[in-house]
Every structure is written in structure tokens, then in C-alpha cells.
Chains A and B, each alone.
Chain A
Amino acid sequence: MKILLTGAKIIDPAQKIDADMDVLLENGKIVKIGSDLLKSVKSKDSEKVKIIELAGMVLTPGLIDMHTHLREPGFEYKETVASGAAAAVAGGFTSIACMPNTSPINDNRSITEFIRRKAAEADLANVYPIGAISKNSEGSQLTEFWDLKDAGVVALSDDGKPVMDAALMRRAMEYAFSLELPIISHCEDINLSGGGLMNEGYYSTILGLGGIPSIAEEAMVARDILIAEFTKTCVHIAHVSTEGSVRLVREAKKRGLRVTAETAPHYFTLTDEYLQGYDTNLKVNPPLRSTQDVAAIKEGLADGTLDVIACDHAPHGRTDKELEFEYADNGISGLETSLALSLNLIKEEVLSWPELIAKMSPNPARILNLSKGTLQVGADADITVIDPQLKWTVDVKTFRSRGKNSPFHGRKMQGKAILTIVGGEIKYVLPSLKV
């Protein structure tokens, strides 16, 4: 089937397009992009083409979230591959990468294949598994990177269980580099963060909650940069949350090292000050930091130090969150709020439209070696259409995700994905939109 998307403003950073244009899709690919395709389509074969009017909308290459947790196998009550993929397309994401901390851990081919099969059955977003660096993510023995790659993993990470052994991290980075597999590092020195529940600072002091110092993150960012430099390999730093980490990555880039980094919407939206009510939906790792860190994250986004916005989607069940702060699980269910929170960066003039879309589509595609993130003719027809004016209020009851753990519940937002197309097929459409 053919689809013509007409009347929208097209933002395609890969082709440096920022203009009103039409896009024609056929057989899962983008076949034409240009001004006024409507006339020629109408004259030729209007009956066989589905025409979607998108005046006032912004059309971008399908958004990619390279840091999610889909919980299956093992924690299906928190999220399944299918419910996570449904949340993804509802949030405007056509592709997501999922971390290996399932149960069992995705440290071998059979788990990777299982996740991919579940994703194919769901047939919503593209789901790219990330394999574990070490067996059972225990930090002692490497997994079979080659086999994992053959099975379909796009990156390796022991996310949530940081690789404390520097020698193991060195070997992982070397071996993965030779296979062109990126290593994604969850930077946390667990001796420094041990027992911590929130950012160490004035608010942890008055709340009597154990502090996680910023240096727990920064010490490992520095270590991984040093390893990447010494071994002439690359590393991707996950969920950057501190001013010091931004500075370290900025300096590394300046010296030409192959270091990339991401941050999550909560790190540029919320601070540790919000924790004063002990709301467990604000418990996240790394923790929410200070206003100074939030300002530094925005600077890092603006100057290109931070390449990617990824939401670290971490869905949990009520039983994991309706607890004393100390016992509650870390994480925010983020896929359905990530885009709107990121659009705030445009309103605040931190980023332009093309800069924001770059961090949510072509940049993650490049880091994960996916041939995605562009609207070039011949590319996969993965497309996100955003209504930048749409005002809405976050209501976790409407989440497609099983994880209703959002600190943004009740927050007023502006801007939302209204149409998500994956491989030329409409996978999400805003219920009020007639298509």
C-alpha cells in the first residue's frame, strides 16, 4: 500500500531538511520526498494511495530510544516486549533497544532470539536487544559477543550492574570493538554509591536518605574514557546525570576520542529537591541531581557533548513502588512522556528542532549501527508525526506500558506524537485523529 503524508513540516537532520514537504511511502520504504507530491499522486493513482493531511504537524524520521527495559522474560508483570513496544509507538518511537537485565539475563543467543520473536509477534516497534557484557551480568566472565551479535544484539551492556572490574571492561571494549559492537556503560562505582538512595547533597542530608555522590558516576566515566583512549576503541556512556560527567565527555570529545553519551528527560527536567515527599516514583538510578547538574546537562545537550536523549524506560509494578522509599525499585516508566519532555528543550531554546530530532533518531541509529534515522529515498519507512501544539495531561491510566510508575502523572504537557509509522505501516494513531 502507498501512503502519502502531505502538508507537514519535515525535519530530517541527516539530509539537513527543515521545510514543508510531502513524503510518499510504498512497500515499507520511503519512495519519494519533495514539494507538492499531492498533485502528481492525485492525477495518477489516487485510489491506491492513502493520503494523510498533516498541516501544522512536524514529520521526522522515526524516533529511536536506545535505552529501555522491557522486563521479558522474567518480570512480565512489569512489562512485556509487546506492552513495551506498544508504549514505544504511542510515545512516537519506531525503534527501541532493550537492556539485558531480564530474568534470565540476556547473556546468550536463546534469550536474544526469544526477545526478537516476541517483538516480531507484537509487530509494533522495531525492538533491538542489547546483550550482557558479562555472564549473568556478574562482572567476571565475558559473554559470547560474536554469538550474541549473530543472534541480533546491537550493543552490549551490564546496565544496572556496572562493570566494576576495569580489566574486564578493557577486554570487553577491545573485543566488542573488533566486532563493531558498541559498549554501553552504566557508570557507577558501587563502592562509592553503596547504600545510597538519592543524590548526595543538601536534600539527602535533610531527608536522612543515604547519598549517592556524583563522583560515583564520574569516576567510572573517567575510567571508561581512559580505557577507550588507551585501547583506541569506543564507548557509549549511558544516562549521564552530573555536571562532572558532562565535563569529562566534553573534554574527551575535544581530544578526538570516540566517546558518545546520552541523558534522559528526567535529568534535564527534575532535581533532587522534588524528593521531599519521599515519592518513590522519583527514585531512579542514577538519582535526580541538583539544579546545577540540570543546567550542565542542558549545556551538554546544546553544545553536542550529549549525543542522545534516551528515556531509560524502567517500568515497575505497584508492588515494586508502593513501599518505603528505601525498599522501592529504581526507575521511571518513560516511553510515553519522553518526547513531550524533550520538546520543552525547544521551547526553552536549548535545542532547535533539527538538533532535538538528531538526538532522538539519527544519532542513536549511528551509535547502534542501525540503517535508520533518515527520510532518505530508499530508507525504511519509519516515521513519527508530532503535533507540536497539542496540549495534554499525563495520565498513567492511559499508558500502554504496564509500568504506571511516572513522576509526571498529572503534569501538563505540550506536544505529542500523533502518528507512528513503522516499516510503512501505521502502528499508532492518536485516537482523536481520523486517518
Chain B
Amino acid sequence: MKLEKKDILGMKDLTVEEINLILETAESFLEISTREIKKVPTLRGKTIINLFYEASTRTRTSFEIAGKRLSADTVNISASTSSVIKGETLIDTARNLEAMNPDVIVIRHSAAGAPHLLASLVKQSIINAGDGAHEHPTQALLDMMTIKEKKGKISGLKVAIVGDITHSRVARSNIYGLSKMGAQVFLAGPATMLPRNIEQMGVKVYNKLEDAIVGADVVMMLRIQLERQKQNIFPSLREYSQHYCLNRSNIKRAKKDVIVMHPGPINRGVEISPDIADDPSYSVILDQVNKGVAVRMALLYLLTGGNE
């Protein structure tokens, strides 16, 4: 099977078949990263540009490693959004990059929809590495790959996502992806962190963490951005952590074999208590990072027609 898509802009646009294809391809790539010589010649001669308008360590490194392990040439461009507003527009940047004939452009941008704008302008494949509060499809794919490995399936599972849903692209992509794959998604957060009409996405919504995680197979904790405090969506980290921090006591309400996920970077003791985060019987956070490389290798491979 072939991926009949030019771009990966969001989980909203992917079918179940496409998600399965990506996950299966990623699974077959996992092994490469365990070799002594972690490199295959598959994408030799291909060029991948990582265009990051927003700070990122994990995602950018993951894309870069993914490209390199497939022998593609990877170029990283970091730009601050403020200079973009004043200087060259995204459209001009896109046209310039296009003129250099890369094969894939990976973009992260603080403005929702920026990857869509880019995709409409250039002939190259675009991968959305996170756009504002909109989507982060590669994160959802690596999360689903992790869940599938740990649980053997996705369909029928109960997944709770906890935290600032309003500002989370990880939450949106996971809601689309997990729902399509047959999981039930439960959300928890104070009303200030739940965007309007979110229940129309087919999720169940709770205000209390304790209510949302009852019987959960997977609990996904979202990162709290400290600067959001200024918007008064929560009064203090102290109060937030007292009610939305996953700990030894409240985790008992989930299934015994629950796995705990976090897209990182963690605020220890705010979203997850350190003993849960470090407990390998619960935490799969580092598995997620590990799967991230494989998922991104799979996407680069599928988009460049590697399976033709």
C-alpha cells in the first residue's frame, strides 16, 4: 500500500487505513535504531528541511535523527516568529526553500494553519510538526504507536487526556487519531482549559481528574504552560497541582495496568508526581520519545515514495 498524500497536516485528514500504514511502517523501522550502525541508505540523496519557527528540542531532534538514520540530508532552520512578522513572509520563505528543491519540509509554527498555507504554496511534501493550538500529528502517531505496543490494540481502550486542552495541539491530534482508531477519549480540566463545544469532537468531558481517569487504560497528562497563568486560566501552579497532578493515590482509580503518558517536557510535581513519572510500571514517557523517531522515519519514507 502507498500513502496517497502529499502532506501530513493533521490527524483530521488521515484515514484509519493511512494511520495503520504509518504505524506498521514505523514498527518496521524500530529495529534500525537498535543496530550498532544506525543507518540505512533508503533516503540517500533526499533533502529534508526542518523549518522551526518555535523553540523545540525533542521534536526537531527527533526529525533530524529520523532523516539521518535514513541517510537523507537534513537542514535545520530556526527562526523566531517575531522576525518573521517584520521580515520575510512565510510565503517568500516557502518559495525560496522550494527553489532549492528539497523533498520534504517539516514545519513548526506558533500560528495555527501555517503548515496549510505552506502546503498550498509549494510542491514539496509538508509535515506539520505542530501549529499553534491546532494539530501535532506526529506526536499523536507516536502516542498511538506506544499505546499499540503496550496494550496490543487501540480499539476499545479508554484514554483520559488531562490538562489545558484549549491550548493543546497534542490533545486535538490525539482526539482525532484515537477516536478514529476506536478508542474512547475522556478529557479532564477546569472549565477554563476546555475549549467551547469540544464535546462535539466525540469526547466525554469532566472537570475533575478523578472522574475522568476511572477505569482508564491510558492517562495522558498535558504540559502546563506557566505563561498561561497571566490569562487567568488557572490561579496558581500550587492549586493546579493539588487537583490535576497524577499521583500514587488518584492513579488507583484507573485500571491496574494503566500506562501514563506525557508529550514533554514535564513539569515534575505539577502534572505528574516524580514517583509516577519515574515508575516504569506506569510511565511510558521515554518509550514515546523512542517511537517518535520511528514514526518520523516512516512518514519521511512514505512521503518521499520510498515504498514505490
Chain A interfacial positions (CB closer than 8 Å to B): 195, 200-202, 204-211, 213, 277-278, 319, 322-327
Q: Which of B194-251 contact A (CB under 8 A)?
A: 195-198, 200-201, 231
A325 touches B111 (CB 8 A): yes
CB of B55 closer than 8 Å to a CB of A: no
A326 touches B132 (CB 8 A): yes
A204 touches B113 (CB 8 A): no
B112 touches A323 (CB 8 A): no
B196 touches A324 (CB 8 A): no
The 19 listed contacts between A and B (C-beta, < 8 Å) are A204-B196, A205-B195, A205-B200, A206-B172, A208-B132, A208-B169, A208-B172, A209-B112, A210-B133, A211-B195, A278-B116, A319-B89, A323-B89, A323-B90, A324-B113, A325-B113, A325-B117, A326-B113, A327-B85
Q: Which of B82-124 contact A (CB under 8 A)?
A: 85, 89-91, 109-114, 116-117
User: Which of B116, B117, B134, B197 meets A202, CB within 8 Å?
Assistant: B197
B196 touches A202 (CB 8 A): yes
- Please give, as numbers and ranges, the residues of chain B lying within 8 Å of A209 by CB-CB distance: 112-113, 132-134
Whole-angstrom distance between the alpha carbons of A210 and B201 in the complex?
Answer: 17
- Please give, as numbers and ranges, the residues of chain B lying within 8 Å of A319 by CB-CB distance: 89
CB of B143 closer than 8 Å to a CB of A: no
Chain B nearest CB: distance from A232 CB in Å? 38
A208 touches B134 (CB 8 A): yes
Q: Report the interface size class on chain B.
A: 20 to 34
Whole-angstrom distance between the alpha carbons of A325 and B91 in the complex?
Answer: 12
Chain B nearest CB: distance from A322 CB in Å? 6
- Please give, as numbers and ranges, the residues of chain B lying within 8 Å of A210 by CB-CB distance: 133
CB of B135 closer than 8 Å to a CB of A: yes
A201-B114 contact in complex given A208-B133, A322-B89, C-beta closer than 8 Å? no
CB of B12 closer than 8 Å to a CB of A: yes
- Please give, as numbers and ranges, the residues of chain B lying within 8 Å of A277 by CB-CB distance: 116
A208-B112 contact in complex given A322-B89, A324-B117, C-beta closer than 8 Å? yes
Whole-angstrom distance between the alpha carbons of A211 and B133 in the complex?
Answer: 12
A207-B197 contact in complex given A326-B132, A327-B85, C-beta closer than 8 Å? no
B112 touches A207 (CB 8 A): yes
- Please give, as numbers and ranges, the residues of chain B lying within 8 Å of A202 by CB-CB distance: 196-197, 200
CB of B271 closer than 8 Å to a CB of A: no
Chain B nearest CB: distance from A415 CB in Å? 32
Whole-angstrom distance between the alpha carbons of A195 and B195 in the complex?
Answer: 14
B113 touches A278 (CB 8 A): yes
CB of B131 closer than 8 Å to a CB of A: yes
A207-B134 contact in complex given A202-B196, A325-B111, C-beta closer than 8 Å? yes
What 5 pairs across the A-B complex have the smallest Cβ distances? A208-B134, A278-B113, A208-B133, A324-B111, A202-B197
Chain A nearest CB: distance from B120 CB in Å? 8
- Please give, as numbers and ranges, the residues of chain B lying within 8 Å of A213 by CB-CB distance: 196
Select the residue from B91, B113, B172, B197 with max chain A CB neighbours within 10 A: B113
Whole-angstrom distance between the alpha carbons of A209 and B172 in the complex?
Answer: 12
